[in-house]
């Protein structure tokens, strides 16, 4: 069992959209923030539609991240070439949800454990400027489905995303 086989498993079970719940923990927050919504992935875009606690839409494209809220005029944009850590995280999430794990090897060390039934992948940034902000990304899944993504930031913040499949 290796990265190439896991990639094939993930790509053979495409999911256009999946429900998610997310928990953001930080020493700067009085209490963890819970959110939920839908993730949708295409080869060129990852879209995160937040429904709770307040509606907003995040889109990760090749060169930018867009954030929109209902009633706002236009979306805020973050150009990824100006934010290396945000770019690495954005591209990693896009590639993970598209099942393109081998493409991550350039920017991350990938450590796979488990087997086809239950697996984990730990992504550790290779570039120092990214590692200053992002400690690692932990992925857990079963068979062809990613179930959990845990993003550990260098300063201790943690975001845990659980995917909820309906079929």
Q: What is the pLDDT of residues 99-126, one digit of tens each?
A: 888 888 988 999 999 999 999 999 999 9
What is the model's pLDDT at position 138?
96
Residues 6 or more apart in contact with residue 27 via CB below 8 angstroms = 156, 157
> What share of the chain in percent tops pLDDT 70?
98
| Residue 14: predicted pLDDT | 65
Q: What's the average model confidence in pLDDT over 48-77?
A: 88
SS3 for 82?
A: helix
The rounded percent of the chain whose pLDDT value lies above 90 is 51
93: which 2 tokens?
């999430």
**131 backbone dihedrals φ, ψ, rounded to 5°:** -65, -25
> Which residues are CB-contacts of 78 (< 8 A; sequence separation ≥ 6)?
64, 65, 66, 67, 86
DSSP designation for 12: H
Kindly report, residue by residue over 5-60, the tens digit of the pLDDT. Answer: 998 888 887 667 899 999 999 998 999 999 999 998 877 788 999 999 999 999 98
Contact (Cβ atoms closer than 8 angstroms) between residue 5 and residue 117: no
Q: Which of 135, 141, 143 shows the shortest CA–CA distance to 159?
A: 135
Least confident of 17-26, 74-83, 127-136, 157-166: 74-83
**CA 95, CA 41: separation in Å to the nearest integer?**
9
* C-alpha triplet 156, 97, 59: angle, nearest 5°: 80
């Amino acid at each position: 069992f290796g990265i190439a086989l896991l990639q094939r498993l993930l790509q053979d079970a495409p999911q256009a959209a999946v429900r998610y719940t997310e928990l953001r923990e930080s020493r700067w927050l009085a209490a963890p923030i819970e959110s939920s919504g839908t993730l949708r992935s295409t080869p060129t875009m990852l879209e995160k539609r937040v429904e709770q606690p307040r509606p907003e839409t995040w889109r990760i494209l090749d060169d930018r991240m867009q954030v929109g809220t209902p009633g706002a005029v236009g979306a805020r944009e973050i150009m990824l070439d100006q934010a290396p850590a945000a770019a690495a995280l954005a591209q990693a999430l896009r590639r993970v949800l598209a099942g393109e794990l081998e493409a991550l090897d350039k920017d991350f060390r990938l450590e796979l454990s488990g087997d086809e039934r239950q697996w984990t992948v730990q992504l550790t940034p290779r570039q120092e400027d990214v590692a200053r902000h992002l400690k690692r990304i932990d992925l857990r899944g079963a068979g062809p489905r990613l179930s959990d993504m845990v993003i550990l930031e260098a300063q201790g913040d943690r975001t845990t995303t659980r995917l909820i499949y309906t079929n």
